[in-house]
Amino acid sequence: MAESTSLPVTAPQFELRRRPNRALAVLLVFRANPLGAVGAIIIISLVAIAAFAPLIAPHGINEYAGIPGQGPSAKFWFGTDKFGNDIFSRVISGSRISVQVGFFSVALGVGLGLIFGAASAYLGGWTDTIMQRIVDAAIAFPQLILLLIIVRTLGPSMRNVVLVIAIAIIPSVTRIIRGAALVQKSNLYVEAVRSLGASDARIVFRHIIPNVMPVAIVLGTTLLGSAILAEAALSFLGLGIPAPNPSWGADISTSRTSFPLNVSAALFPGIAISLTVLGFNFLGDTLRDVLDPRLRGSR
Amino acid sequence: MTQYIIRRLALAALILWFISVAVFLLLRVGPGDPALLQQGINATPETVAAVHKELHLDDPYYVQYLRWMKGFVTLDLGRSVLTQTDVSGEFKGRLPVTVELMMFTLFWTVILGVPFGVVSAVTRNRPPDYFVRVFAVFGLSVPAFWVATLVLMIPAQQWGYAPPLNKTTSLFTEPWLNLKQFGPPSFVLALSSMAGIMRLVRSELLEVLRADYVRTARAKGLTQRLVVMRHALRNSLIPVVTVLGLLTSGLLGGSVIIESIFNLRGLGQYIFSSILQKDYAVVQSLVMFTATVAVLMNLAVDLLYGFLDPRIRYS
């Protein structure tokens, strides 16, 4: 006991102030939520596959690799489609489209939704009312039909698909962020910075938005899965990424018109979509439990 | 209460007005002229102008908009630019198909979603719960159009079987054929909503099971079964009703894909083919119809909410 009294008084305080070990924290979270770890592994592999697709794929995406309509074999792991393309190569290359459309559309949609939601909550009054009624209208509207109409109007292309999926994401993000921002707005710190003379824009961008970021991150992760599903659905209907790009959705659609039917041409691109979306959903659920317990059970 | 309903109806009208303007403009800003599509390669400037005149497509936008709105409220949905058929007539033939598909889908959603959600909650963190949760995440992740493709492809390849395609059957005169036609598509369409309901029932029930009155029910010696079924479940189902109402708009969107894949001659397939052909009259009327249904469902659900849970007061 005598030794402990002789220790400097500041020692325990220094101990408390030490930055938490991030890597350890992540490890602990994933140990408590093994499915989240599975999700993270799936997503990391997906990004790696997309980055190195040309090195992994044994054949070109539109290269006549073998007799059309083959099932899986040692030479063609996933078989060949009705054009004689190697399905494995197409699935590998298709990851690039999914990753790009997913990340760009979610970044754009969540980014704008974040600004609209925070502004709507902070400004209040008529601005808030009008913005929220527009959000009501957009949410009441069947989303897929909206996507189809806009793509048909703008014309199918990578850029337009990213754009319409972002547009479809904005309303629900705006609504949820507004709720979270309203809670922040009533906090004393907002009043404090305002009394210090901070402008509205500064309060929204420097104080409210950083504080609702956890909600946005959770939302964004789950929405990445939905965005990739939406791209696949649009491409399946022929209004997504135009041929001959290897979109998973479009490849499933192509498989339906092959004769004789070749199940593997539909099976493997679908497994790729499902695994990807599953990965984002697993990770999203885990992030939600960790970052924002209030969102639990929604969706 | 009356005041609340009036306010909500006014709000619904406002929302529908927003949607009508948005759809009307969206369809007109892009390239693609329905008259050209109708005339095909034989189109000359004169015939295109004649079609424009006949269909009043050369009027200013606000005149076209007002004419459409007037028709819509008097239940005259206009005429297809492409096929020259009356949209109302086509609509009447197709509505029952979509309604039946929706009914079956909601049936699967409730009949499988709620019980498995309950099982999941009462066996929390034990194998049945894990099973339901994993199934639910799969249900939310697997694309319906892929499952639908496999559901059609695998039996066709293995046994040369195909469900009745290309014609509309009636549940009343040929029930078996009708079930073969509507069973698979409705089940595929229900997968994701089923998964959502399982997760919702689980989390709501777990929440309610922590409430004081449930502890009281347990303390007075009721069996687990009675506590869950009679006391806890009822309260945990209130949010489920809301979500079921909100599902409508998502399912109407999903029916576009599912009806096209299974070749069901419903409204979803009609909307899709009309969007592809830029058939204004059809798209704008059908979209307004689906939006109206969705908005009214939301309103109905909110009112039902107060009826189911009298603690909620409208203001």
pLDDT, tens digit, 9 for 90 and up, residues A77-134: 777 776 767 777 788 888 888 888 999 999 999 999 998 988 888 888 888 888 888 8
Token reading at B266: 């419903």
Q: What is the pLDDT of residue B34?
A: 66
Mutate which: B146, B242, B267, vs A, most A CBs within 10 A: B146
Using CA coordinates, name the residue in chain A closest to B277. Answer: A152
Q: What is the pLDDT of residue A69?
A: 65
Band of pLDDT at residue B315, cut at 50, 70 and 90: low
Query: How close is the nearest chain A Cα to the Cα of B226, in Å?
Result: 25
Indicate the residue of B137, B275, B291 with minimum beta-carbon distance to A282: B137
Answer whether B295 touches A (CB < 8 Å). yes
Q: What is the pLDDT of residue B95?
A: 86
Say how far apart CA B221 and CA B219 lie, in whole Å. Answer: 5
pLDDT, tens digit, 9 for 90 and up, residues B183-202: 888 889 888 889 888 888 88
Band of pLDDT at residue B155, cut at 50, 70 and 90: confident
CB A219 within 8 A of CB A268: no
Q: What are the residue ranges in chain A where pLDDT is below 50?
A: 1-4, 7, 11-12, 295-299
The Cα diameter of chain A in Å comes to 88
Q: Name the pTM for this structure.
A: 0.82
Q: What is the pLDDT of residue B171?
A: 65
pLDDT, tens digit, 9 for 90 and up, residues B6-55: 888 888 888 888 888 888 887 777 666 666 666 666 667 777 777 666 66
Note which residues in 65-104 of chain B have CB less than 8 A from chain A: none
Q: What is the pLDDT of residue A18?
A: 57
pLDDT, tens digit, 9 for 90 and up, residues B260-275: 888 888 888 888 888 8
Q: What is the pLDDT of residue A110?
A: 92
CB B81 within 8 A of CB B38: yes
Q: What is the pLDDT of residue A108?
A: 94
**Three-class DSSP category at B216:** helix
B204 contacts A297? CB cut-off 8 A: yes
Token reading at B301: 């659900």
Burial of B61 (0-12, 13-18, 19+ CB in 10 A): exposed
pLDDT, tens digit, 9 for 90 and up, residues A145-163: 888 888 888 878 888 889 9
Q: What is the pLDDT of residue A40?
A: 86
Token reading at B302: 């909110």
Q: What is the pLDDT of residue A1?
A: 43
Note which residues in 145-174 of chain B have CB less than 8 A from chain A: 145-147, 149-150, 152-154, 156-157
Answer whether B140 touches A (CB < 8 Å). yes
* Of B65, B299, B182, nearest in space to A140 by CA: B299
Q: What is the pLDDT of residue A162?
A: 92
B287 contacts A145? CB cut-off 8 A: yes
Query: How close is the nearest chain A Cα to the Cα of B276, in Å?
Result: 7
CB B138 within 8 A of CB B195: yes
Q: What is the pLDDT of residue A298?
A: 42
Q: What is the pLDDT of residue A297?
A: 44
**Eight-state DSSP code of residue A294:** G
Q: What is the pLDDT of residue B312?
A: 62
Q: At which residue do the structure tokens 């949010």 appear? A: B239
Band of pLDDT at residue B240, cut at 50, 70 and 90: confident
A149 contacts B23? CB cut-off 8 A: yes
B145 contacts A249? CB cut-off 8 A: yes
Indicate the residue of A143, A255, A299 with minimum beta-carbon distance to B253: A143
Percentage of residues in chain B having pLDDT higher than 90: 2
Percentage of residues in chain B having pLDDT higher than 70: 84
Q: What is the pLDDT of residue A3?
A: 46
Q: Measured between alpha carbons, how far is residue B85 from residues B79, B88, B90, B149, B281 in Å?
A: 6, 9, 8, 31, 11
Say how far apart CA A147 and CA A145 lie, in whole Å. Answer: 5
CB A245 within 8 A of CB A97: yes
Q: Per-residue b/e over A182-198, b at no fewer than 16 CB within 10 Å?
A: bebbeeeebeeeeeeee
- Half-sphere exposure of residue A176: CA atoms within 13 angstroms, side-chain side: 25
- Half-sphere exposure of residue A21: CA atoms within 13 angstroms, side-chain side: 6
Answer whether B130 touches A (CB < 8 Å). no
Judging contacts by C-beta atoms under 8 Å, the chain B residues touching residue A239 are: 276
CB B258 within 8 A of CB B189: yes
